[in-house]
Copies of this chain bind each other. A is one copy, B any other.
Amino acid sequence: MTAFATPVRDMLFALKSLTDFDQVARLPGYEEATAELADAVFEEAGKFANGVLAHLNQPGDVQGAQWSDYQVKAADGFAEAYRQFVEAGWNSLGGDTAFGGQGLPAAISVAVNEMWCAANLSYSLLPLLTQGAIESLHHHASDALKATYLHKMVEGVWTGTMNLTEPQAGSDLSQVRSKAVPEGEHYRISGQKIFITWGEHDCAENIIHLVLARLPDAPAGVKGISLFVVPKYLVGADGALGARNDVRCVSIEHKLGIHASPTCVMQFGEQGGAIGYLVGEPNRGLEYMFTMMNHARLGVGVEGVAIAERAYQQAVWYARDRVQSRELGGSNPAPVAIIRHPDIRRMLMSMRSQIEAMRALSYVAAVALDMAAVHPDAAAQKQQQALVDFLIPIVKAWSTEQAQEITYLGVQIHGGMGFIEETGAAQFMRDARITTIYEGTTGIQALDLIGRKLARDGGATARAVLAMAAADAEKARACGETGARVADALQAALKLAQQSSDWMVVQFSGQPRAAAAGAVPYLKLMGTVLGGMMMARQVVAATQQRDSDPAWFDAKLATARFYAEHSLPLVSGLHVQVTGGAESVLLMDDAQF
């Protein structure tokens, strides 16, 4: 039994009341993205997530994707679910209208993705990877390539993959060895790619692989990598599918989680070279891949939110159902539902408050992504771009790290039953485990944050973000006792966040290894503080709207206060780790470990 219902009301509250979503509909091209549209889309998407995808999650985990003779069969029901998904138009939600998309902003599509991820993380990766491939092609491919591929991919009839990693080239793509040899208008691609999500499957009629490879005369390192389109089936001038290309899935991985998402080893060019088409200019492949990095990393951060939400709902369901031990401090000897026990309640509050903070921050990043993309005012656009660039590594790494703890708590609340696979709680923990690793590990995100995002502009963006949070704290302070508590905790944390940021900016230029030693604690600190900013906004919004539904908004006030009293106090320890812990990280020789 796993209980799940898409939390549509919470999601709409976060988007509409805690972000600048109302400004998105004022952006050129997004005029239709109103609050009313969000209501309607969320409602329908929620139904699809609950009704079609959620039920397939546990059976998909048990059965997994199956490899046989270079074919991959998706778990039972997945192909049919994908067919319905495409038919209902869910794949094209954020796509360019020029290619059949619905052109909705990230502010909406990111939240809708959260629903797919919560309902069925393994499934959600299929459209998510396709979105990434679409984005790279959209920005960098020739009109001819776009004309051939984008319509079908936006529609979802064809899916997309990203082929980056090789056995010797994981986080370090400078080591990519796959080759591309020119042959007339196209190239012959050869090499092995690993960890290719949904690299092969039976859910769509064609699979469009985006592949990083080196041209014969390419320079070494990251500046010698080009990007190619390699379709599973070649596509004729009329758009009809032609011959099978020289690429096949030679095996799939046996993983800790996301069993229903095939993780493929892809072999290109065993019979003379797979036919591929260059995207954009030679040697700019990595840059083109990074185009979709913000979207992809935000997407993984949202996976953390989603799987945490699912674990929370499962835990609440169990805590209401399971009767065990008498109520502490009461006189009745009869056992009660464990949700009555303070420690169970502490765990549920911890899960819930963190999820709300993570979700809201991810939506703030999505709104900023839309503003940065199409804001008509150049200065505003630049400012929003800096904001989103700063937020992305935090949302990606902090949300997914928190998801580890939250799914852990989900198991813990189940006691012994949590360790039994049939219960379902363990799957969320296993599935969540990949999210701090793929699309750049937490360590990689943290280096990105302290370098490109924090130190490069001398801490200017960080100061702006912290000032924004301070303004939210001030507004919260006007909102009764809860507001004052949240404001106090947030302001104390902001002071330490500014000190940590200042320290980091100085170290980054002079002592880069010391800066790197504190990078992950710094990222967690900033995530915790920005989560506090979201909770300050929540206090303000819930106070304003409380009369319409006191019980519902009081719960929002309660989680905000819990966050202020349980999450924000952790900032002081993280601050010491950042500013006082670097030396001891680096004290030992390699041989001493």
Q: For the complex, is A3 an interface residue (Cβ under 8 Å from B)?
A: no
> Do A341 and B587 have beta carbons less than 8 Å apart?
no
Given known pairs A324-B170, A577-B565, the reply for A254 and B519 (CB within 8 Å) is no
Given known pairs A339-B593, A346-B517, A584-B562, the reply for A419 and B437 (CB within 8 Å) is yes
> Do A345 and B517 have beta carbons less than 8 Å apart?
yes
A356–chain B nearest beta-carbon distance, Å: 13
Q: For the complex, is A23 an interface residue (Cβ under 8 Å from B)?
A: no
A46–chain B nearest beta-carbon distance, Å: 19
Nearest opposing residue in chain B for A426, CB measure: B256
Q: For the complex, is A516 an interface residue (Cβ under 8 Å from B)?
A: yes
> Do A419 and B433 have beta carbons less than 8 Å apart?
yes
> Do A172 and B433 have beta carbons less than 8 Å apart?
no
> Do B415 and A520 have beta carbons less than 8 Å apart?
no
Stretch from A289-297, A537-545, A550-558 at the B interface: A550-558
Q: For the complex, is A77 an interface residue (Cβ under 8 Å from B)?
A: no
Given known pairs A325-B171, A588-B555, the reply for A342 and B513 (CB within 8 Å) is yes
Q: Which residues A486-500 have CB closer than 8 A to chain B? A: none
> Do B441 and A415 have beta carbons less than 8 Å apart?
yes
A591: chain B residues at CB < 8 Å are 551
A88: chain B residues at CB < 8 Å are none
A165: chain B residues at CB < 8 Å are 416
A277–chain B nearest beta-carbon distance, Å: 28
Q: For the complex, is A443 an interface residue (Cβ under 8 Å from B)?
A: yes
Q: For the complex, is A201 an interface residue (Cβ under 8 Å from B)?
A: no
In the assembly, how many copies of this chain are there?
2
A340: chain B residues at CB < 8 Å are 590
Chain A 408-419: CB-based contact to B (< 8 A → 1; otherwise 0): 100110011011
Q: For the complex, is A100 an interface residue (Cβ under 8 Å from B)?
A: no
A220–chain B nearest beta-carbon distance, Å: 9
Q: For the complex, is A177 an interface residue (Cβ under 8 Å from B)?
A: no
A9: chain B residues at CB < 8 Å are none
Nearest opposing residue in chain B for A565, CB measure: B581
> Do B346 and A520 have beta carbons less than 8 Å apart?
yes
Q: How large is the interface on A (under 10, 10 to 19, 20 to 34, 35 or more residues)?
A: 35 or more
Chain A 328-347: CB-based contact to B (< 8 A → 1; otherwise 0): 11000101010111111110
Given known pairs A419-B433, A437-B418, the reply for A554 and B592 (CB within 8 Å) is yes
Stretch from A208-216, A301-309, A566-574 at the B interface: A566-574
> Do B415 and A171 have beta carbons less than 8 Å apart?
yes
> Do A412 and B590 have beta carbons less than 8 Å apart?
no
Q: How far is the CA of A323 from the CA of B175 in the complex (A)?
A: 10
Q: List 18 A-B contacts (CB under 8 A).
A: A172-B324, A172-B325, A253-B419, A256-B420, A257-B419, A319-B593, A320-B590, A328-B513, A329-B512, A342-B516, A342-B517, A342-B586, A343-B446, A343-B517, A412-B437, A554-B592, A558-B587, A562-B587
Q: Besides the contacts A172-B325, A256-B419, A343-B520, what 14 more A-B pairs have beta carbons closer than 8 Å?
A: A253-B419, A256-B430, A319-B593, A328-B512, A329-B511, A343-B443, A343-B519, A349-B587, A349-B588, A412-B442, A430-B430, A554-B592, A569-B581, A570-B573
Closest 7 pairs between A and B when the two form their complex, measured CB to CB: A569-B576, A342-B516, A343-B443, A570-B573, A558-B587, A562-B584, A342-B517
Residues of A with Cβ closer than 8 Å to B? 165, 168, 170-172, 174-175, 194-195, 221, 253-257, 316, 319-320, 323-325, 328-329, 333, 335, 337, 339-346, 348-349, 352, 404, 408, 411-412, 415-416, 418-422, 426, 429-430, 433-434, 436-438, 441-443, 446-447, 511-514, 516-517, 519-520, 551-552, 554-555, 558, 561-562, 564-566, 569-573, 576-577, 580-593
